[in-house]
Amino acid sequence: MNVEAAKAKTLTVVSKVPEVTIFFWIIKIFATTIGETAADYLATNLGFGLTGTTWVMTGVLVVVLAAQFRARRYIPGIYWLVVVVLSIVGTLVTDNLTDKYNIALTTTTAIFALALAVTFLVWYRVERTLSIHSIYTPRREAFYWLAILFTFALGTAAGDLIAERYDVGYWKAALLFGGAIALITVAWRWWHLNAILAFWMAYILTRPLGASIGDYLSQPKADGGLGLGTTTTSLIFLAGIIAVVIYLTRTKKDQITAPAGVEQHMLDA
pLDDT, tens only, 101-111: 899 999 999 99
Cβ burial, residue 146 (10 Å; 0-12/13-18/19+) = middle
Helix H or strand E segment including 258: strand 257-259
Total Cβ atoms within 10 A of residue 264: 11
256 close to 74: Cβ distance less than 8 angstroms = yes
Average pLDDT over residues 183-187: 96
**Collapsing DSSP states into helix, strand and coil, what is residue 136?**
coil
pLDDT band per the 50, 70, 90 thresholds, residue 11: very low
Rounded Cα gap, residues 1 and 12, in angstroms = 18
pLDDT for residue 5 = 45
Rounded Cα gap, residues 48 and 45, in angstroms = 8
Using alpha carbons, list the distances in angstroms from residue 47 to 17, 56, 61, 101. Answer: 35, 11, 19, 19
DSSP letter (8 states) at residue 46: S
pLDDT for residue 150 = 94
The mean pLDDT value of the chain amounts to 86
Cα 119 off chain centre by = 16
With a threshold of 0.85, does the pTM exceed it?
Answer: yes
| pLDDT over threshold 80, residue 13 | no
Domain boundaries, the chain: 21-167+231-268
CA angle 36, 241, 175 (to 5 degrees): 50
Which of 150-154, 163-167, 226-230, 232-236 comes out lowest in average pLDDT? 163-167
Average pLDDT over residues 180-198: 95
Q: What are the b/e assignments for 170-204, b being 16+ CB within 10 Å?
A: bbebbebbbebbeebeeebeeeebeeeebbbbbbb
| pLDDT over threshold 80, residue 143 | yes
Question: Which residues pair with residue 11 across a beta bridge?
Answer: 259
pLDDT for residue 66 = 97
Higher pLDDT, 180 or 223: 180
